[in-house]
Homo-oligomer: A and B are copies of this chain.
Amino acid sequence: MSPVETVAAFIAAIEAKDVDAAVALAAAGISYENMPIDPVVGHEALARTLHGFLAPASTVEFRILKQWTFDRTVINERLDRFQIGDGWLELPVAGVFEVDGDGKISLWRDYFDMGSYTRQFAKLAGR
């Protein structure tokens, strides 16, 4: 798979809420960096984090609005959508992915506004 195909498969696994499939596409030392918080490093931590944020959502969709590939780096502007209860949480994100020589994702760095996430989550989850 090319880097862009690897990222597409990774995102498809997340949308399917298939954490094992997502982790299988990640390098053992993956650094998953949500910029407002500390990096999550390695398969176990990645799986735990993915389970945490996918669990409340009945449907998950990462809409890729624009995407660019430079060598082994894939960058996208996305609208990440999570169906929670009767509504949708929608989050604009800029993502940077690096794919290593073995075709595994070694870096996933997302830039977004945490407050946009938490305010919508609180409303939808009724908390």
Give the residues in chain B near A96, CB-CB below 8 Å: 66, 77, 94
Residue of B nearest to A75 (CB): B75
The reply on A113 being an interface residue by CB < 8 A is: yes
For chain A, the count of residues having a C-beta within 8 Å of the partner chain is 19
Give the residues in chain B near A77, CB-CB below 8 Å: 96, 109, 111
Give the residues in chain B near A112, CB-CB below 8 Å: 35, 111, 113
Give the residues in chain B near A111, CB-CB below 8 Å: 77, 92-94, 111-113
Q: Contact check: which of B70, B114, B115 meets A68 at CB < 8 Å? A: B70
Which of A68, A77, A94: most chain B Cβ within 10 A?
A94
Give the residues in chain B near A70, CB-CB below 8 Å: 68, 70
Q: Smallest distance from the beta carbon of A13 to chain B beta carbons, Å? A: 23
Cα A116 to Cα B113 with chains together (Å): 9
Contact of B36 with A115 in the complex, beta carbons under 8 Å: yes
Q: Which of A105-120 contact B (CB under 8 A)?
A: 109, 111-116
Cα A70 to Cα B74 with chains together (Å): 12
Which residues of A are at the interface with B, using a C-beta cutoff of 8 A?
Answer: 35-36, 66, 68, 70, 73, 75, 77, 92-94, 96, 109, 111-116
